[in-house]
Every structure is written in C-alpha cells, then in structure tokens.
Structure 1
C-alpha cells in the first residue's frame, strides 16, 4: 500500500499538466536578467587596508595550467555517479515522506487524545518556539519550502568565504577548476559559492521566482534531484568547454542548476507571461525568453566571451529541456529501485 501511495503521488504530478492559476501569477514580474549568475572570477585590485572584502580572494590565484585528460575522465564518471545518486536519494526521500505522512495520519485517527495531551505538555519556551517556527513553515508554499534550505546553504557558504583561515579550503573544494588538484567534489560544491553579494542575490532571486512552479510540476523530491544533478552537469559542461578551448580557470555559482529549472519551467509552460524586474511594462512569453537566453549563451561560447560562464549556463539549460521531454519516462524507471527499497524497509 505504501508503495502504491508513493507511485500515486508521482503519477498525480505528471498528469497535472496545466500550471495552476496562481502558479502563473508567481512567474509574473520576475527577473530574467541572468547576468552574473555564474561568473568566472578574474584578477582584481587588492582591497584597501582596513576595508571589508566582499569578494573571495581570487586576485592571488593563478588560473593557468593544462587540463590533464584524467581530470576530464574523472569529471565524466563523477557526473554520472552523482546524478544517479541524486535521483536514487530523491526516490528514498519521496518514499520516507509518504511513509511518515501515512503513519502520522494513522496515529491521529486512532489516538486523537494523544495530540491534545502532547499539546498540553509543550508549555516551555523551547517547545513554544518550535511550534511558532512550524506554523511559519506550514504557511510557506511548496516551492518556498525547497528554496529556503537551498538559500540558507548558499548564504552559509558565502559567509565561509569570508573566514580567512578557510580560504585555502574554499579555493580548493568550492571552486570548479578543470586544472585543479581536486576536480570531482568542487563540481558540486562550487554551485553554492558566489563571487559577491549581487551575484548571490541575483541567483537566489531567480531561483525563488521559478522554484514554486518547478516544485508544483515535479514534486519536491524530483525537483531536488533535477536541481542538484543540473549543477554538476553544468560544471561538466564548463570543464569540457575550457578543456577544448584551452582556457582553464575557476567557476562558481548556482546558475547552472538554476538555468535548468528556468529552462524546464519556460519550456513546460511556454505561454506564461513574464516581465523584467523594474520594467513590468515589458511582457513576453516564457518560450521566447528561454530562446533568447540560450541564444545569448551560445553566442558567448562561440565568440569566446569571458564575462560569464556561458558553457555552464548552456549546459544547465539543455539539461532542463532534456528533462521536459524525457524526464517523465526516466523518473518512472525508478520503480524497480523503489520496490527494492520498499522490500528492504519491510525487513527492518
């Protein structure tokens, strides 16, 4: 029964093709200005003494060096393994969430007095604080419940960059560099690093703008699987481009993953009307927007523009489009794994 409930949740999301009416409104007046979403840091002047440094210390870092073929091979293997792990974890998370929800409902129906007794015992300050936080959490939309933890992680990493004793570690593991000593985990961890406050704000604003529509369409578990996998796939695209063009360097930012969500939503609901921040009078369709954005990034790759990591943007967007057309079929292939996990869960 639990397995059927979990599958039923998934099928319900897949057949709910039309975007809910309030979902379309969520996309209005949200920025599509994706500038500085994922940047390739460049040399800058050192900050004045006594001033607060607002960007990571890239000015003392050397970007040169050839890309070893073994690093490219490792990047391919890591991308496949990490993406598979993300969707397997999403499947387990979906199962456990469904199971916990059913258990809680069963308890409330069989032992209604237990809830009232529990409330009477929760009178201390800590329990009241937890209740207040839970009330605020329950008021969030499905997309916001995914956005808040992701945003918190990005803000936390942004703060860690400002700790001098951690800079060497952050430079090694939180920057994606095809010529670096560490290649695999930086492909993932770099998606939580940001170059400046504006870089962080721009990424989080766009993620917040499109997260609710994405979660309503995919479900929170599949959304997380797509988002995290897209970040690593975008890093792989950047590594391949830098290897082919012999331009190794650092890349940071969540925009590769965000571009996948943006491309998915725009392709799934192409007639949704969008507008640019501070220019609400300019309206255009989501389908037209993603074409322009991807065209800009394609031109950046062809022309060799170095202002942004266009290859990472394009790789993330292509993965989002791929998931629009093939994601439903691929997501259903998790059923054998879900069945195996269900049988394993029953033995415990």
Structure 2
C-alpha cells in the first residue's frame, strides 16, 4: 500500500456540561508523493463512494454550524432571535443527541443522527479529518468499493456504535447523551487495520508511524478496558462502548463483504 493510510480518529464524545473533549488521536496529512493523484485512478464505484464520503462531511459541517448558531449568544440579541435559538437548541438536543432512555419513549432519531452532530470545534475538526483520511484510505485500497458498500460501512458502523452505547448505558443506568462521528470512524479504522495491518498510522505527539493493527488494536483494547472498569463516581468523557460497537461492525463487514474487493474476483 502507498501514500493513503493515515492516523485514526477521535473518541465518541459523552455529553457533559462544560467539559470539553480531550482528543486521544489525530489524523495525518497524506504522505507527499510525486506524479498524478491517486484520485485520478479511481474507478466509477470508488468515485461514487468518495462522493458519499464528501456528503457525510458536508452534513456534519452543516450540523456543526447549526449547533454554533443556536448556542452562541451575543449582547443585544432581539427576543425573537433568542427564542429562535433556544427552540433550535432544544430540537438539536432532542434529535441529534443519543440517550438510551430515548428508545423507551419511541424516539429513534439519535440512533443515527447523533453521528452527524458535534458541538466542539476540536471534536468536529479531528473527527472529520480522521473520517476523510481513513475513508479515502479504504476507498482507494479496494477496487470493488462502491457507493452502496461505503454507505453500508458508514451507517452500519454508526448503528453498531449506537447499539453498543445503548446496551452499556441501559445495563449501568447511565443517562448521559452521546454525539459525534467517532463510532462511525472506528468502524472504518477497524476495516483499515484488517485491510492493511502494517500500514503506518500515527499517534498524537509521536512522530513515528505505528502499524495499523498495533495502534487500532491498542485503542480498542483500551476502550474495552474502560468499559469493563467503568466507575460511576468518575464517568468518562468518551463513549468507549460506542467505539467498540462501531469497530465490531466495521471488522465484520470487511471480512464478510469488503474483503472480496481486494483484487477483483479473488478472495484472499
């Protein structure tokens, strides 16, 4: 593999008042290379997948701007504008944050929509850079990747993340909401680690590349430990169960479907 495997993404954020996200991982720029861009050699299906990737990022950007508009207040705002912002904030909290108690009340919006939702600029920025980097990596590395397959990987990882989040919170009575795309990013990271386990990824502040299987394996092992060692007196900022749920779907989908696309017509 050449010039396309990048650092993995951030944690799915647990929503707690006035506690900013402290990112664990950050994405990297593509390695520099001479000659035509890899995009010049994409097949039609891969180009369709990349368009979906761009669409996901655009949707996340729109929702991030919506959060910023609704939660940012300036001196001298008119009562009508303030009312509009307050109503918008309530709608965003209602539909774009996932809480386990929502299911019992028949509110299913957040199961998927929470993965398009970021409040913090750091959370949004790093998640989207990781999503772009890793998404392009899996698209470019699989000749038979298509738009529907990439969409299935993304939405399936998001659903897997929400299912794991729901199960963990219900079993422990956790009421915090979750938002952010990192459950989805975790699914893509898991697929990348299986597709090219020795591709170099980089951990924050460490200037050397680390094999994908080591970095992602270590991160998911840490997530599993954090779920097992949960302490209600000191709840984590990160939704570790969501990471694991997204990763499980991404790994299974790669093994059961995407792996066929390594070389057309060949399973290996």
TM-score higher than 0.5? yes
1:173 corresponds to: 95
Alpha-carbon distance in 2 for matches of 1:329, 1:191: 25
1:287 corresponds to: 213
Alpha-carbon distance in 2 for matches of 1:277, 1:25: 19
Alpha-carbon distance in 2 for matches of 1:168, 1:153: 19
1:300 corresponds to: 226
**TM-score of the aligned structures, taking structure 1 as reference length:** 0.56
Alpha-carbon distance in 2 for matches of 1:159, 1:254: 15
* CA displacement at 1:44 relative to structure 2: 2.5
Where do residues 185-264 of structure 1 align in structure 2 (5 Å cutoff)? 185-216=109-140, 217=142, 218-264=145-191
Where do residues 84-99 of structure 1 align in structure 2 (5 Å cutoff)? none
2:3 corresponds to: 25
Alpha-carbon distance in 2 for matches of 1:235, 1:199: 18
* CA displacement at 1:270 relative to structure 2: 0.7
2:12 corresponds to: 38
| CA RMSD in angstroms, aligned pairs only | 2.6
Runs of 5+ consecutive residues of structure 1 not aligned to the other structure: 1-20, 46-53, 56-137, 332-348
Alpha-carbon distance in 1 for matches of 2:3, 2:260: 29
- 1:28-75 deviations in whole A, cap 9, x for unaligned? xx333x44x311111229xxxxxxxx99xxxxxxxxxxxxxxxxxxxx
* CA displacement at 1:203 relative to structure 2: 0.5
Which structure has the bigger radius of gyration? 1
Give 1 or 2: higher helix fraction: 1
Alpha-carbon distance in 1 for matches of 2:122, 2:155: 22
Alpha-carbon distance in 2 for matches of 1:198, 1:177: 22
Q: Does 1:151 align with 2:57?
A: yes
2:249 corresponds to: 319
* CA displacement at 1:145 relative to structure 2: 3.0
Tell me the SS of whatever aligns to 2:110.
helix
1:107 corresponds to: none
* CA displacement at 1:278 relative to structure 2: 5.3
Alpha-carbon distance in 2 for matches of 1:329, 1:288: 20
Tell me the SS of whatever aligns to 1:25.
coil
Tell me the SS of whatever aligns to 1:270.
coil
* CA displacement at 1:248 relative to structure 2: 2.0
Contact 1:176–1:183 (CA<8 Å) still a contact in 2?
A: no
Gap change, CA 1:289 and 1:158, over 3 Å in 2: same
* CA displacement at 1:195 relative to structure 2: 2.7
Bigger mean CA offset, 155-164 vs 292-301:
155-164
